[in-house]
Structure 1
């Protein structure tokens, strides 16, 4: 398998119609460094993976293996390291987990969606604690989905059916919340993913409105990005149910445009930069990008929910 730091490109696509990548500005090109995974329940296999997170200190890659009700850990080349979890509601068990995030110490947080809680683990999968139960009170959840950790180790949780964002400390204590369709002044149709920029903006993938919403840390709407568009002739900045979000250390924003089978890149101001298809041409694309994470050395990791696979890319300027 190939490393992100030094590699021989497995697949290098050049500008030709709608193959990977589709260029927007400059002469960027996307290299697919690696792909791993297939359908199954053995180590290194997946059943509908959702989100992915990367430990920048160790380059370890964590994947939520949703329908196997577990977390898998790999090195940056895709070599299996360990896994933990099974179906259940006891400590360390999961019921269709979805989101994942890491704190500055390398601890792992997982949104255990159907158990309506957040669980915390060490980097080796040792259970540390949990917070949450079903309900509408502070610190309770109705189906938590995407989660993201800011630089101060505050965890932002999409409390989907309560239409709000909850903030949880690394000690698993409730800090605050904001949101609801009424208080936000806009309708959020079941947002699924969240990311934090280096300047502390909170990004939400408002998937059924086909846009990305930018908020301050206290919930003030700053701006919105995108509009609906679907098909092979769509423009950059148009989406069909955007899901996964990732932000690089310099603020570049990557968005998994699920039903357009592509990833779009924007600069820190939300200006469209480039895009690439995740699998072949638009007509041949059969799979759906879901989760995104930026890694070390400029790598970008993507979960393909229906291909039961993980892709590693690198964007070259």
Structure 2
């Protein structure tokens, strides 16, 4: 009897150790009965800020295409996932608890790239950049939360460089500020290498539009975010750097490049407390958490934590739940979206980041 009790105690202790390793380090692979591996193969370095929520979503079988973007409505608790592929719904809608709710089987969306949830607290809408080359491509579309097309920016099916009327060539991402002003990075390898600011009435307020390596020039601008200090942060993918601009005037403020010598930044988002940037590097399968500089400073980039994903996951774009602080990652290679939650779940994001 003592031997059995001792053996049971050892089993319990081993189980506890394994659970702690998953929570703290995320380096354990769990095997399913069929021999496949659950999505827990990742490693944390630096300050442990996030851990994978292996229970989200509850219905991963609904991912049927290459997942390119994700957007979160923190008020209604909805997560919109944009995916590509033949004969697949272009947008899947989940709850933040992981329940699958609906799919948009819209014919007006060809090849989604970036997705953004605007006006969460009042009149929410979903903006999607379309890099398709067909009759609906080279545009940015605004949809209702149920998938009804509300308006289209750009000239459908026509790649171009004009601003009056507004034209795009593979627009990569859009960021709609709470003021209604719109920031667009255009394009994802096409004719344009531009950062455009529009008023809430869709008038061009300022633009940076030169291809190059100098200040204010771009090569494949891929992601854009605006912080609470009226600074615009752009993932300048082709130049392996993040550039920073004054949101009001458009003036160039600085750039970060030292953190991206190996791989380019693909996505940039801020944590709700504005203390950190979440930056994705697709080719190295890495999510980097960078320290955000205080107002009046840009300085050098500083990585405080990383989430190293398994090979061929290919993270593309991210979004954060502005209420709970959870991080959602769109992964092209894995053909899925994943959710990472703050370590001290249940507290406000500002209390532990």
**C-alpha distance 148-9 of structure 1, shift in aligned 2 (>3 A):** farther
**Cα deviation, residue 237, structure 1:** 5.6
Structure 1's 187 and 59: CA in aligned 2 closer, same or farther, altered over 3 A? same
In 1, Cα distance between the equivalents of 2:210 and 2:179?
A: 27
3-state SS of the aligned residue for 1:12? Answer: helix
* 3-state secondary structure, aligned to 1:57: coil
Where do 1:64-213 residues align within 5 Å? 64-67=82-85, 68=88, 70-87=90-107, 93-104=108-119, 105-114=123-132, 115-133=137-155, 134=158, 135-138=160-163, 139-160=166-187, 161-169=191-199, 173-181=202-210, 185-213=215-243
TM (norm. structure 1) is: 0.80
Structure 1 unaligned regions, length at least 5: 1-7, 88-92, 228-235, 280-284
Larger radius of gyration: 2
Matched, 1:315 2:342: yes
Name the SS of the counterpart of 2:238 in structure 1. helix
Q: How many residues align?
A: 284
- Change over 3 Å in CA distance of 1:182–1:125 after alignment to 2: closer
Does the Cα contact within 8 Å between 1:237 and 1:272 map onto a contact in 2?
no
2: distance between equivalents of 1:273 and 1:124? 38
In 2: Cα distance, 1:170 partner to 1:9 partner: 48
Please state if 1:267 is matched with 2:291.
yes
Superposed CA deviations along residues 22-43 of structure 1, whole A, max 9, x for unmatched, are: 11x5xx253111344999xx7x
Does 63-72 or 194-203 show the bigger shift? 63-72
**Counterpart-to-counterpart distance in 1, 2:180 and 2:117:** 9
Taking a change above 3 Å as real, the CA distance of residues 22 and 237 of structure 1, as seen in their structure-2 partners, is: farther
Report SS of the residue matched to 1:148. strand
- Residue 162 of structure 1, CA deviation: 2.0
How much does 1:98 deviate?
0.8
Structure 2 CA distance for partners of 1:266 and 1:29, relative to 1, 3 Å:
closer
- Scaled by the length of structure 2, the TM-score of the pair is 0.73
**Contact 2:216/2:252, CA 8 A, preserved across alignment:** no
| Residue 210 of structure 1: how far off its partner (Å) | 1.5
Which of 73, 76, 94 in structure 2 is aligned with 1:58? 76
Alpha-carbon shift at residue 275 of structure 1 (Å):
0.9
Distance in 1, matches of 2:256 and 2:287, equals 15
Distance 2:285 2:279 in 1: 11
- The RMSD of aligned alpha carbons is 2.8
Specify which of 246, 251, 254 is matched with residue 269 of structure 2.
246
SS state of the match for residue 272, structure 2?
Answer: coil
